[in-house]
Structures are given as structure tokens and as C-alpha cells.
């Protein structure tokens, strides 16, 4: 039975590895549920976060266009940990998700829906549940006891739903975060009717349960009609955080809400014109966010009421100055966000008492032009200073004097044209410096002297950038950006010894002098954006990268024939994009590009115009697990790729691919639906074109099913088989004694027995015929045979046929092999590199393959791999892949295989094979 078409997007923990592609923003995909008409069926995507450096995979399924919930959920794997459903489902019935016991996250976008009692029964591990709809508002009915089975639910979210018809809903006692956004909520007191066990003193009329102040975060943002609190609406609650962003609720009303405790209050975009000092003092708030409001002035009285604040955000309020008492009025303040205000052009921080607790100050986008001497002297404990997006042009050591403990300094996107000598001398503890988007053109390592631990450096220029040694000795991460040219002035003996991450964004990267060489002995992650492929041609910028694991190279230049990825023996993740192969007169072969990358596990290729992929493109990439092809035009998939099916990467992702309409690719559909070890994404959305002028958008799978209904090779096989059968029949007719009648009668007799439900049970002398080579004989006799022949219940109780043991002396081995396979319920081939080199093992595999093809339904072949094998070496593997199922493969070469579990699985398959053949 064929499975539905599965597609996958790998969303790796590897978001870092493929961050620039939609995939990375993972994931894997999965099935479109059908290759034919899918208008009534859901589209399903499986996202498996995958990282070659981290063990374990986590399955996330996303289903859209859902109309029949039961049919959709049958296609979702049982071990799915996260599930998103989008469509139109009017009701969630009882035990809807009962077969998904490992589910931890459930996101539902099902329109107006009714949740019945027991709908979430069996979801004992569910931690996050979300109901979403945009825009507001659809009706959502939740039965009072619908959430009771979710004992470990941590997060519950309703977005875009009106819940006017729901009441007395019992919240799980372990719930820590409740979100009710974009709803019809008009006053907070409605929460008592909706969730009676949220606050104390409520008397639910159904499903009563003891009240407990369990909630930590209550998010009521974007409720545009919420403007009233109501008497004691939050009575007894002790919240860590309350979010009222985008509401019309007056913060002052919270004092009468009955709320016992509150640490953090978020009032972003509420139209506030002054600090809610009374509320801050009443709850002794530690965090207050008033961003995107209309607070133009800060009153001393309001500030005195905010003495408990540790974090204060006033971004985007239009502030023009700070009152003199600002710092002294907020003695506990640790983080202050004043970004996107109008405090410039000259920064004036209030004088007075020194703020000994402020650790983070954000003054980005404040129209600052100059920093006066000792501008931050009143902030001696400051560790992070953000000055991005201002008009600062000059810096001196006096400007930053007093910041003895500063670790992070962001001066990006300012008008800085030069750096004064010693400007960092007053920052000995600095570890991170950002100078991107400036007008610096010449930077010497001496200009960065002062900090002893500078490890993260970002430098940028609007035109050209030239850097000189000595490089900071502790540098771990370096990012350089220029519009046209980056030049390294290299002296002998000046390598980047400890640099692990390097990012270069420019058209050209040059070395001066020409015979110089850059050395990066510790580099692990390299990102190149917009660079010419010539950067790899002369092997002087990157001669050897012995520890490099991730290369991200996006360019918009031609000349890709000069791209040679050498000296990267540990490279595991490779991203290539926009190398302009389309207009390149010399076609670059993928096999030449990747031949020196034996450890590659993730390969993402975008807009490279390969035109054709063949088996030679992936030679030597035995460890490849994820293949992503994005934005390709007129891509052809050579039929030779069928030979690679056993070695195909575990995850294959096609995104925005236009294929060529050719029947040579007719193997793609069956491969995507039946390949036992590979999951494929994107074929159901792909189109194909007959030629360059073809403007039709023919779906690839529709073309293959309509115009290439049969595999050409299989058609040839059927034709030749029919001719042989016809010639044999004519030869039998010429026999004078008509012996063929006897054979015909025997066949009819066997058919009659089967049709009548009867069959001879004694036609098999053996359960399994075992094929193996001489080098594997010891393992077969010592491990495999005892496990299968040992009597039940400890063993399989099977009768094996071993050529070395059971063939008679002097018996013709070929005839004995054919006869023994015919009288065995199944044939088991033990495969290793030595077995593939054995003439007898190859012959036995050919006989078994012939029986499998010529006698479908009556022959069974099982393959047992003892070690990793290039499966292109298997005889007629294109036939085997068509006839063998996933459970017919057993791989002992994989790490972590338990012997007892393997033996039990093998015994079950052998018993099933015997039963199928008898039937």
C-alpha cells in the first residue's frame, strides 16, 4: 500500500545553519496527503528541527486546509511533538487527539469552533495550547471541563476569538501564562465569568475546583474595547507580569482590581501622557514599559513614585529632555530604554547623585551629534551602551571616560569618519564593539587598543574599508562590511589566531601586498555576502580552514568556474546562493564543487541554475542528511539518480523550483511516496515547463501522471516479458504430446484451491533461506542462526536453510539454491562489502530479485546490512526499490541498534512474510 506524498522542511536547531532560507526559518515537510486532486484534502508539513551537532530529532506537523479532522489526523505520525491545524472545523469531538500522546504543543486555527468535553483527552504531555484567528472576531465555545485533562498545560492562548458563549471554564492548575488578545473583552470582570477559578471568591456553577493563585503572566494586549476593570476583577491574583499593550484601559483603575501582587506592567501604545506613578508605587513595580506613547515630559512627583523600578522603557515617546532629578529619583534602576526620542543634538544627562545600579542604557535614534566630556560619568556601573542611529561624528577618550566596566558599545549607523588615538583607553573591560554603517575607511589595530578582552568586533564603511594589524589578540568574532572593497593590509606573522566567526560583506576582498596570505586556524563559521567567487580562486584569502564547519556564501557575480572549495575537511553545513550560473558560459559541475567536502551533512543551494542533477552530483557525499534546492529554473532530474535512492539524504526540500517537463523524471513521484528512508518536500507545489517559451504553469506531478503513466523501463520489461511468454506458448503448441496442458491444469488447480480458501500447508520445507559470504559466516552461525532457530519463547523457532550446512554433497549448487528459495517462505540476504564482492552472493541476490519481480505476491526478499554500503552496487536496485517495502530493510550499521529489538523485529517480519506467501 502506497503512503501519501510526504514533504519536509528542515527547521534545524539549524536555524543558524540555513537562516537565510525559508527552510531555516527547520523546517521539514511532509505530506500533501495525495498526489492527485487535493482540493478537499489538507496540506500537511512536518518540521523536524535538525542539527548535525546535537542529538535527537523533534517532529512538528503543520496541516492547512483542514476540513475533515479525523482524516487529517490519521496522516499525522503518532510521535509528533508539535501540531498546527489550519482550516474550517466546526467542532472538536471527544478524544480528537487521542492517538498523539507525545504532543507538547498544539496550535489551532480552525475558524468558529466548538470544543466539546474530552476533546483533549489523552494529551497528558501537552504544555502549550493556542487558539488563533485573524482578524477579530469569531465565536469560540469551550465546554466547562474541556481543559481538565491538560494537567501539565503551561501556556494557554486565545487570539482573535469572542468567548461570550463560554463560561465556567476550569483552567488547569499548572497554568502559568494566559493570553487573551484581539478579543471582545470590554472589562476585566468578564474574566471571572469565563474562568471562575482564575480569581478567588468566584462561585462556579459547574465543575467546581479549589482556587489557587497559580498564574504568572496575564496578557490582554490588543483588546481595543477593553476600557473598564470592574470591581475586584483580579481579586487574589499574584502576577509576575500583566500586559495591556494597545488597550484603552486606564492603569490607575488597576488599584481597585483586587490584584495582590504585580512585578511587571506593559502599557505599550495605550496613549498614556504621563507616568502612572500611583500604580507603580502601589504595586512596587520592578518593570514598566511605556513605549510608543505620548509622554513628552517627566514630572518630579511621578518619578518619586517610581523608586522601585529596575527596568523602565520610554522608547518612541518624543522626550526632549530629562529632569534634573531623574537619576536620583530612580535609585534601583538597572535598565533604561530611551531610544527613538529627541534628546539631541547634545546629550545632557542630569547631574546629581551617581546612579550606581544602572547597567544598560539605550539612547539609539535620538538625533545626538556630540558626546561631551564625561557624558556618562554619573553611570560608573554601566555595562551596555547603545548609541546606534544618531549623528555622532567625533569620539574621544574623554567622551567615554568613567565607563570602567562597560562591556558592550554600539555606535553603528553614525557619521563617524575617523577614530582618535586612544579613544577606547577608558574602556578596559570592553568585549563587544559595533561600528557598522559608519564612514570609516581606514582602521588600524592600534586604534582599538585599550580593551584587553575585545572579542566581538563589527566594522563597516559606506564605500571602502581598509584594516591594518595588529589584530586584537582576544578576537573571536569579526564582521566587516563595505559597499565595494575590503582590503587587508597583511604583515608576516599576523594570523587571526583565535577567530571563530567571520562575516565579510563586500564586492571584492583584496590582500596587500599581493603575495600575502591570511590565516584563520581556528575559524568555524564563515559568512560571505556579495563577494566575488574569485575570493576562493587564488587560495590566499582562505588557503586552509582546517576547523571550518559552516560556510554561508551568497554572491551576485559570475565567474563561478573559479569557485573551488578546498582545504575544508570538516565542513558540515554549506549554503550557496546567487552565483549567477545562468549567464555563466562555463557550466560548473556540482560534483567538482563538492568533491573535497567528505563530511558535508547539510547542503542548501539557491538560484544556481544547475539545469540538471545526476548521480555524479552527489558522489562522495555519503554523510549528507539534508538537501535544499531553492529558486531553480528548468531543473532536470536525471534518471541515474534512481541508483542513489538508498543513499539519498534523509531530508530533501524543493522550494520555488521549476522543473523541465520530461518523462525521464517519471521516477520522482513513486520515489517521493515509497522511498523508505527519505522525506521529500515541495514536489506537490512544483511546476514544470516544456521549453523556455512555455508560459503555462503545469504541476509537475500532474504532468508525470498524465503523460508518463508508466515507468519507461518497466514498460520495456513488460513488453519483453510478453514477447517471451508468447514465444514460449507457441513453442508449447508445437509439442506433439501437448504437455503444456498438464501444466495449465496444475496452475488452474492451484488457483481453484486459493479461490476456495484452501491451500497446502506443507509446500514449504524451510522458513528462511539465508544468503551470506564466507567472510560473514562466523557472525551468521554465532549470532544470527541461534537467535532465529532457538525454540520459542526465547528464539524465533524458525527453520533456516544454510547452503554450507543443508546442501547435499555433490549437489549442483545453482539448482539447489533455486529449489531451496522456492521451498522457503522468505529469502534473507546478509550484505556486506565482502558479500557484494562474492560471485555466489551476487548470484543468489539475482535469483531472489528475479523471483521477486517474476512472482509478485509469492516471493519475499529481505535485506540485512551489516555495514554502510554504497547501495548503487546492489544488482538492479532500481527494481528492488520498486518492490521492497520499508520493513524489508534491516540496517545493523547504524549506531544505537539494540540486538534484542532487532531480532524481534526480524522475526516478526519473517513470520509475516511466511503468512503472506502461504495466503
Report the DSSP beta bridge partners of residue 117.
Answer: none
Distance CA 699, CA 710 (A): 18
Give the H/E segment covering residue 279.
helix 277-283
C-alpha cell at 807: 546442501
Neighbour tally for 595: CB within 10 Å: 15
pLDDT in tens, 592-643: 778 888 888 888 888 877 777 877 777 778 788 888 888 888 788 877 777 7
- Please write the tens of the pLDDT for every residue from 186-209: 999 889 889 988 876 654 444 444
Which pLDDT does position 43 carry in this prediction? 44
CA distance 759 to 768: 20
**Nearest to 265, CA basis, from 219, 223, 332:** 219
Strand partners, 312: 288, 336
Which of 393-402, 425-434, 811-820 has the highest average model confidence (pLDDT)?
425-434
Q: Band of the pLDDT at 28, cuts 50, 70, 90?
A: very low
262 three-class SS: strand
CB distance 492 to 517 below 8 Å: no
Mean pLDDT of 182-189: 90
Of 263, 203, 255, nearest in space to 229 by CA = 255
Nearest to 31 by CA among 55, 67, 64: 64
3-state SS class at 11? coil
**Three-state DSSP state, 887:** helix
Rounded to whole angstroms, how far apart are CA atoms 407 and 451? 9
Distances (CA, A) of 575 to 7, 190, 527, 555, 631: 21, 52, 9, 11, 13
**Residues in contact with 685: Cβ distance below 8 Å, sequence separation at least 6, in sequence order:** none
* Per-residue confidence (pLDDT) for residue 611, from 0 to 100: 76
Neighbours of 456 (CB within 10 A): 18
**Cβ neighbour number for residue 645 with a 10 Å cutoff:** 22
Please state the pTM of the whole predicted model: 0.70
Per-residue confidence band for 732, with pLDDT thresholds at 50, 70 and 90: low
User: At 917, which helix (H) or strand (E)?
Assistant: helix 899-918
Max avg pLDDT among 7-21, 157-171, 670-684, 692-706: 157-171
What's the pLDDT score for residue 818?
87
Q: How confident is the model at residue 538 (pLDDT cuts 50, 70, 90)?
A: low
Q: What is the DSSP letter of 619?
A: T
pLDDT at residue 255 above 80? yes
User: What is the radius of gyration, based on Cα positions, of the chain?
Assistant: 35
Rounded-to-integer distance, Cα 509 and Cα 503, Å: 12
pLDDT tens digits, one per residue of 320-364? 988 888 888 899 999 999 999 999 888 887 765 577 789 999 999
Q: Give the separation between CA 558 and CA 588, rounded to whole angstroms.
A: 11
111: left (phi over 0), alpha (psi -120 to 50) or beta: left
More confident residue, 123 or 680: 123
Q: Output the nine-digit C-alpha cell for 492.
A: 608576516
Q: DSSP strand E in 789-854: where?
A: 800-801, 824-831
Take residue 845 and report the three cell numbers written for it: 541476490
Residue 865's beta-bridge partner residues? 831, 891
Residues whose CB falls within 8 Å of the CB of residue 752, separated by 6 or more in sequence, listed in order? none
How far, in Å, are 6, 178, 230, 276, 277 from residue 255 at the CA level? Answer: 55, 21, 11, 11, 12
Measure Cα distances from 23 to 14, 27, 436, 517, 652 in Å. Answer: 10, 5, 28, 36, 11
Report the C-alpha gap between 575 and 628 in whole angstroms: 9
54 contacts: CB under 8 Å, gap ≥ 6 = 13
* Mean pLDDT, the chain, whole residue set: 80
> What string of DSSP letters covers 369-416?
-B--TTTTTT-TT--EEE-TTS------TTTTTT-TT--EEE--SS--
| Cell 577608558 belongs to residue | 426
745: left (phi over 0), alpha (psi -120 to 50) or beta: alpha
pLDDT interval class at 482 (50, 70, 90): very high
pLDDT at 562: 60
The helix or strand, by DSSP H or E, that contains position 778, with its residue range, turns out to be helix 777-779
Joined together, the cell numbers standing for residue 65 give 486546509
Position 235 scores a pLDDT of 86
Mean pLDDT across the stretch 361-389? 92
CB 319 within 8 A of CB 341: yes
Say which residue the cell 496575564 belongs to: 218
**% of the chain surpassing 90 pLDDT:** 29
Please give the pLDDT value at position 772: 92
Q: How far apart are the first and last CA of the chain?
A: 17
As a whole number of angstroms, the distance between CA 146 and CA 906 comes to: 43
Backbone angles phi, psi at 489, to 5 degrees: -85, 105
The grid coordinates listed for 417 are 569618519
Q: 479: pLDDT confidence band, cut at 50, 70 and 90?
A: very high
Q: Are 365 and 339 in contact (CB under 8 A)?
A: yes
Query: 475 by DSSP, 3-state: which?
Result: coil
For 743, the grid coordinates are 501444466
Contact 347, 322 (CB under 8 A): no
Q: What is the pLDDT of residue 713?
A: 59
Q: How far apart are CA 58 and CA 818, in angstroms?
A: 46
| pLDDT tens, residue by residue, 281-327 | 999 999 999 999 999 988 888 888 999 999 999 999 999 988 888 88
In sequence order, what are the residues at sequence separation of 6 or more whose Cβ sits closer than 8 angstroms to the Cβ of residue 321?
343, 348
* CA dihedral of residues 26, 31, 35, 38 (deg, nearest 10): -100
Look at 163-172, 778-787, 791-800 and tell me which has the smallest mean pLDDT. Answer: 791-800
d(CA 560, CA 537): 10
Give bridge partners of residue 804 from the DSSP assignment: none
The DSSP result for 482-529, as a single string, is: -SSEEEEE--TT---SS--EEEEESSEEEEESTT-----TT--EEEEE
Over residues 411-418, mean pLDDT: 93
* Burial of 876 (C-beta count, 10 Å sphere; 0-12/13-18/19+): middle
Q: Are 579 and 559 in contact (CB under 8 A)?
A: no
Q: How big is the chain, counted in residues?
A: 919
Whether 223 and 181 have beta carbons less than 8 Å apart is answered as yes
| Mean pLDDT in residue range 824-853 | 85
Q: Which of 163, 228, 131, 159 is nearest to 189 (CA)?
A: 228
Q: Pick the range with the lowest mean pLDDT from 419-433, 480-494, 544-558, 739-753.
A: 739-753
The Cβ of residue 151 has, within 10 Å, a number of other Cβ atoms equal to 13
Strand partners, 66: 87
Amino acid at each position: 500500500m502506497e503512503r501519501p506524498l510526504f514533504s519536509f522542511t528542515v527547521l534545524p536547531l539549524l536555524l543558524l545553519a540555513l537562516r537565510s532560507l525559508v527552510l531555516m526559518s527547520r523546517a521539514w515537510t511532509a505530506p500533501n496527503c495525495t498526489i492527485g486532486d487535493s482540493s478537499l484534502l489538507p496540506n500537511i508539513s512536518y518540521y523536524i528541527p535538525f542539527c548535525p551537532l546535537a542529538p535527537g530529532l523533534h517532529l512538528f506537523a503543520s496541516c492547512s486546509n483542514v476540513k475533515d479532522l479525523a482524516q487529517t489526523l490519521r496522516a499525522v505520525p503518532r510521535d509528533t511533538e508539535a501540531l498546527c491545524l489550519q482550516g474550517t472545523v466546526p467542532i472538536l469531538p471527544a478524544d480528537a487527539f487521542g492517538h498523539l500522546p507525545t504532543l507538547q504543543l498544539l496550535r489551532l486555527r480552525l475558524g468558529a469552533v466548538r470544543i466539546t468535553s474530552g476533546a483533549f483527552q489523552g494529551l497528558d504531555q501537552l504544555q502549550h495550547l493556542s487558539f488563533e484567528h485573524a482578524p477579530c472576531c469569531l465565536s469560540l465555545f469551550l465546554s466547562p471541563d474541556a481543559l481538565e485533562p491538560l494537567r501539565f498545560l503551561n501556556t494557554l492562548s486565545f487570539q482573535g476569538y469572542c468567548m461570550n458563549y463560554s463560561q465556567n471554564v476550569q483552567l488547569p492548575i499548572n497554568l502559568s501564562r494566559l493570553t487573551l488578545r484581539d478579543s471582545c473583552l470590554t472589562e476585566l470582570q468578564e474574566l471571572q465569568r469565563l474562568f471562575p477559578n482564575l480569581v478567588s471568591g468566584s462561585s462556579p456553577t459547574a465543575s467546581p475546583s479549589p482556587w489557587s493563585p497559580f498564574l504568572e503572566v496575564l496578557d490582554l494586549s490588543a483588546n481595543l474595547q477593553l476600557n473598564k476593570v470592574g470591581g475586584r476583577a483580579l481579586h487574589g491574583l499574584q502576577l509576575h507580569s500583566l500586559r495591556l499593550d494597545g488597550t484603552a484601559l486606564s492603569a490607575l483603575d488597576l488599584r481597585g482590581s483586587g490584584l495582590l501582587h504585580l512585578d511587571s506592567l506593559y502599557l505599550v501604545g495605550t496613549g498614556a501622557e504621563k507616568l502612572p506613578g500611583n500604580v507603580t508605587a502601589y504595586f512596587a513595580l520592578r518593570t514598566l514599559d511605556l513605549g510608543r506613547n505620548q509622554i513628552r515630559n517627566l514630572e518630579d512627583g511621578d518619578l518619586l513614585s517610581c523608586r522601585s523600578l529596575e527596568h523602565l522603557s520610554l522608547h518612541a515617546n518624543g522626550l526632549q529632555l530629562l529632569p534634573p532629578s531623574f537619576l536620583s529619583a530612580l535609585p534601583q534602576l538597572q535598565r533604561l530604554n530611551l531610544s527613538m526620542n529627541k534628546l539631541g543634538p547634545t546629550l545632557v544627562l542630569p547631574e546629581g547623585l551617581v546612579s550606581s545600579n544602572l547597567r544598560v542604557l539605550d539612547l539609539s535614534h535620538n538625533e545626538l551629534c556630540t558626546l561631551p566630556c564625561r557624558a556618562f560619568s554619573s553611570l560608573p556601573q554601566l555595562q551596555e551602551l547603545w548609541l546606534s542611529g544618531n549623528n555622532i561624528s567625533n569620539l574621544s577618550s574623554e567622551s567615554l571616560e568613567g565607563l570602567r566596566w562597560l562591556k558592550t558599545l554600539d555606535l553603528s549607523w553614525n557619521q563617524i569618519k575617523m577614530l582618535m588615538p586612544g579613544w577606547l583607553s577608558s574602556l578596559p573591560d570592553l568585549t563587544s564593539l559595533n561600528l557598522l554603517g559608519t564612514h570609516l575607511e581606514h582602521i588600524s589595530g592600534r586604534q582599538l587598543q585599550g580593551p584587553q578582552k575585545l572579542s566581538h568586533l563589527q566594522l563597516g564603511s559606506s564605500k571602502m574599508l581598509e584594516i591594518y594589524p595588529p589584530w586584537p589578540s582576544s578576537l573571536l568574532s569579526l564582521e566587516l562590511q563595505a559597499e565595494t572593497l575590503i582590503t587587508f593590509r597583511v604583515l608576516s606573522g599576523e594570523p587571526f589566531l583565535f577567530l571563530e566567526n567571520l562575516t565579510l560583506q563586500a564586492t571584492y576582498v583584496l590582500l596587500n601586498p599581493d603575495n600575502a596570505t591570511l590565516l584563520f586556524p581556528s575559524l568555524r563559521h564563515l559568512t560571505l555576502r556579495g563577494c566575488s567567487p574569485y575570493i576562493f580562486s587564488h587560495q590566499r584569502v582562505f588557503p586552509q580552514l582546517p576547523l571550518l564547519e559552516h560556510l554561508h556564501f551568497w554572491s551576485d557575480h559570475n565567474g563561478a568556474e573559479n569557485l573551488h572549495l578546498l582545504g575544508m575537511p570538516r565542513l558540515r553545513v554549506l549554503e550557496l546562493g546567487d552565483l549567477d550560473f545562468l549567464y555563466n558560459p562555463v557550466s560548473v559541475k556540482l560534483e567538482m564543487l563538492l568533491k573535497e567536502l567528505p563530511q558535508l551533512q547539510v547542503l542548501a543551494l539557491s538560484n544556481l541554475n544547475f539545469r540538471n542533477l545526476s548521480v555524479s552530483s552527489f558522489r562522495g557525499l555519503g554523510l549528507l542528511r539534508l538537501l535544499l534546492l531553492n529558486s531553480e529554473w528548468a531543473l532536470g532530474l536525471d534518471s541515474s539518480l534512481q541508483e542513489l535512492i538508498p543513499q539519498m539524504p534523509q531530508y530533501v526540500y524543493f522550494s520555488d523550483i521549476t522543473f523541465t517537463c520530461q518523462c525521464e523524471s517519471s521516477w520522482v513521484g513513486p520515489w517521493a511516496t515509497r522511498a523508505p528512508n527519505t522525506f521529500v518536500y515541495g514536489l506537490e507545489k512544483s511546476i514544470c515547463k516544456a521549453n523556455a517559451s512555455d508560459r503555462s504553469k503545469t504541476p509537475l506531478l500532474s504532468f508525470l501522471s498524465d503523460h508518463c503513466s508508466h515507468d519507461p523501463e518497466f514498460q520495456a520489461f513488460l513488453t519483453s516479458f510478453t514477447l517471451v511468454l508468447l514465444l514460449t506458448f507457441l513453442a508449447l503448441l508445437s509439442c506433439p504430446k501437448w504437455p503444456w496442458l498438464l501444466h495449465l491444469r496444475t496452475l488452474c488447480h492451484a488457483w481453484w484451491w486459493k479461490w476456495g480458501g484452501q491451500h497446502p500447508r506443507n509446500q514449504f520445507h524451510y522458513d528462511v533461506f539465508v544468503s551470506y559470504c564466507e567472510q560473514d559466516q562466523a557472525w551468521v552461525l554465532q549470532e544470527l542462526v541461534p537467535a532465529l532457530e532457538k525454540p520459542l519463547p526465547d528464539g524465533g523457532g524458525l527453520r533456516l536453510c544454510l547452503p554450507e550446512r543443508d546442501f547435499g554433497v555433490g549437489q549442483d549448487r545453482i539448482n539447489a539454491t533455486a529449489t531451496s528459495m522456492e521451498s522457503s517462505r522468505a529469502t534473507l540476504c546478509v550484505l556486506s562489502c565482502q558479500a557484494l564482492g562474492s560471485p555466489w552472493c551476487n548470484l543468489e541476490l539475482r535469483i531472489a530479485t528475479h523471483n521477486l519481480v517474476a512472482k509478485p505476491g509469492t516471493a519475499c526478499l529481505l535485506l540485512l546490512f551489516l555495514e554502510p554500503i554504497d547501495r548503487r552496487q546492489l544488482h538492479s536496485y532500481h527494481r528492488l526499490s520498486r518492490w521492497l517495502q520499508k520493513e524489508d530493510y534491516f540496517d545493523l550499521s547504524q549506531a544505537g541498534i539494540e540486538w534484542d529489538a532487532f531480532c524481534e523485529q526480524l522475526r516478526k517480519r519473517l513470520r509475516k512474510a511466511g503468512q503472506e506467501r502461504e495466503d
